[in-house]
Structures are given as C-alpha cells and as structure tokens.
Amino acid sequence: MADQINSKKLINLYELMVRIRFHEEAIKVLFTQGKIGGTTHLCIGQEAVAAGVIAQLRPDDFISSTHRGHGHMLAKGGELKPMLAEILGRVDGYCKGKGGSMHIASIKLGNLGANGIVSAGLPIAVGSGLSAKMRGTDQITVVSFGDGAANEGNTHESMNMASVWKLPVLFLYENNKYAVSTHTSKSMGGSMEKRAAGYDLPFIKADGMDLEAVYMAAKKAIAHVRSGKGSYVMQCDTYRYEGHYYGDPMIYRSKDEVDGWRKKDPIMRVEDIMVERGILTKEEYQKKRVDIQAEVDEAVAFAEASPQPPIESMFEDVYTEWQS
C-alpha cells in the first residue's frame, strides 16, 4: 500500500529506533555512575520522529539539532562509538570531547550541530538553506525544535525569512507537550498550523508515535522543499518518557499520564506491525534487540577507554581561520 513503508526499509528504521533507545538507556546508566559531566537530555519516546524524518535525508543534506539531539545525530548517520565518546568528553568523540551531549556536530555528516540554546538552531538552518539556494543545489536542511523554541523570537524570524526567500528548509516541530516543566496549554497561544499559515508556509501534522505516519508526512514535506517550492512546517506530536533532563523529578506531570503515553510506544508499535504483516517474528525482532544491545555495550566500552583531551589542547579547535 502507498501509505506503508516497504518491509526492508521498515526493518532498517526499526533497527535505528532501537539503536537510539538503547543508546539513551546507556546514557542513563553512565550519568547515574557520575561519568557524564553537566546534564543530558534524552529522547526516549521520540525515536519515530528522528527515524521517520531525518533518516530519509541524503548524505549531502543538512540538519540543525537541539539540546535533545542524540537521536537526530544517529539518524543522520552518526555512529555509536564516537557519539558516546563525545558525551563522555573523550578525544575519540565527534568534537574531540569538547562538545558533549548538547553540542555534538559533524560537518562530514551534515549535522550543523546540536544546540544548548533554545531556538538557536533555526537561524543556522536558514543560513544553510540560503547557502544551498545561492549555490544552486537541491540540498535541504531540516531543523528540529520543540515547544519552548516554538515561542521564541528566533523561530518567527527564521520562518518569516525562509518564507520570503523561499529557502529549502523543513521546520520540524517536535511537540512533546512540555517546555521544561510547562505544558503547551499554558504557554502557547494559537497553534503551529496557524503560525505557519501566517508566514504563508505549508503545514503538515503527524502522530509522532507512529513511524509510518511520520515517514509518509515527511516524505511529502521533503519532496516539496527539495523541488524548490520553499520551506515547509511539519509538526509531530510525541512524548518524552524521561524528564526535561535526566534526573528531573517530573513533579509537573502524573504517572498515569506518562504510563498512558508509554502504551503508545513507537518501537512497540513497529514490532506489532512487523508481526502482523509477516515481516519478522517476535523471536526475530528480539534477536535484533539483543544484537543492537551488544553494539551499544561495545560502544560504551570504547568510549570509557578513550582518553580525555589533554590540557594543552584546550585552545585548539575554538575558532576557524578565514581563507579567501
């Protein structure tokens, strides 16, 4: 059927979602053990968005991510070992251990950077989109943002400029219902659909807990943006099972609410689909989970064995020289 992902692709995206989930679960353990400095923001529950949108991009496309960006990086082709090494602040990480959880980037992979500043990724995406347009390529940029960023000035200015200049940017609104501890019902006037309309941007909405719904909506939006017709706004209604940061006491929401969303788990829904369609048996997908857990365990060992950056490297990689 046209609204279904083919079997091979569905398996690949399932594996990606499980890889993201197990990566985040490993970070929980490492953080609890005191091996991660600062704080970390997990995307457990939101895996279908990264897999359904970003995994559709070409290698030469770009993304601009958020402080909750581990899944985005993995979906753009990031590998587990340098990911975990970066989060642990080790030299074998993507940013040589100097970016950490909230600032992972890889120009080679087209990730212009996760960003610890709420909404700061949107102007970067506009610049990336303008670059592609000026160079005459059909590259696109996907910029993710959440509920807090939805109400920031950067977001509105970026959408306005992208609309006026018809830039190849897909604005991906991951609506996980909370900006830190404040529910969108208490912080957001109107809707993202109406805001998009205000900037004359097409809009599409998908169930962010349903991989196929996300994938098909993103396929339409990506095709529009790549065709040169201008930007697009896509909303995915999703949910983070953990707090705003790991260790957040989450007193602002009830256990019943979290449990209700867990029943919509995006990974579990894909497993049910694969069994129903005869793509994989329960035993076969469980074997994949075991294999992926082994990959993550190996990556954790690699990251822990990687050395910390030497003190003399503290002034390296802190600026870029201009070359005419």
Q: Can you give the pTM of this predicted structure?
A: 0.96
Q: Tell me the HSE value of 79 on the side-chain side, using a 13 A CA sphere.
A: 11
For 271-280, write each residue's pLDDT tens digit. 999 999 999 9
151 burial via Cβ count (<10 Å: 0-12, 13-18, 19+): middle
Instruction: State the Cα–Cα distance between residues 13 and 269, nearest whole angstrom.
Output: 12
Q: Tokens 């070359």 identify what position?
A: 323
For 208-256, write each residue's pLDDT tens digit. 999 999 999 999 999 999 999 999 999 999 999 999 999 999 999 999 9
The helix or strand, by DSSP H or E, that contains position 193, with its residue range, turns out to be: helix 192-198
Give the mean model confidence (pLDDT) for residues 202-206. Answer: 98
Highest CATH level, class, for 7-307: alpha beta
CA–chain centroid gap for 63, Å, is 9
Is 175 strand, coil or helix?
A: strand
pLDDT class of 268 with cuts at 50, 70, 90: very high
Q: Which of the 8 DSSP states describes residue 308?
A: P
User: Tokens for 155?
Assistant: 């977001």
Percent of the chain whose predicted confidence (pLDDT) is above 90? 95
pLDDT at 55: 97
Distances (CA, A) of 174 to 62, 80, 139, 179, 212: 18, 23, 22, 11, 16
For 94-132, write each residue's pLDDT tens digit. 999 999 999 999 999 999 999 999 999 999 999 999 999
For 64-98, write each residue's pLDDT tens digit. 999 999 999 999 999 999 999 999 999 999 999 99
Reference 143, options 167, 117, 124, 164; nearest CA is 124
Q: What is the DSSP string of 241-301?
A: SS-SSTT---TTS-HHHHHHHHTT-HHHHHHHHHHHTTS--HHHHHHHHHHHHHHHHHHHH
For the chain, give the mean pLDDT.
96
Give the mean model confidence (pLDDT) for residues 282-298. Answer: 98
Instruction: State the Cα–Cα distance between residues 309 and 59, nearest whole angstrom.
Output: 29
pLDDT class of 22 with cuts at 50, 70, 90: very high
Q: Is 37 left (phi over 0), alpha (psi -120 to 50) or beta?
A: beta
Give the mean model confidence (pLDDT) for residues 53-71. Answer: 98
Instruction: Break the chain into its structural domains and give their ranges.
Output: 7-307
pLDDT surpassing 80 at residue 322: no
Query: Can you state the angle between helices 7-32 and 80-87, rounded to 10 degrees?
Result: 30
Instruction: State the Cα–Cα distance between residues 117 and 222, nearest whole angstrom.
Output: 26
Which amino acid, 60? D
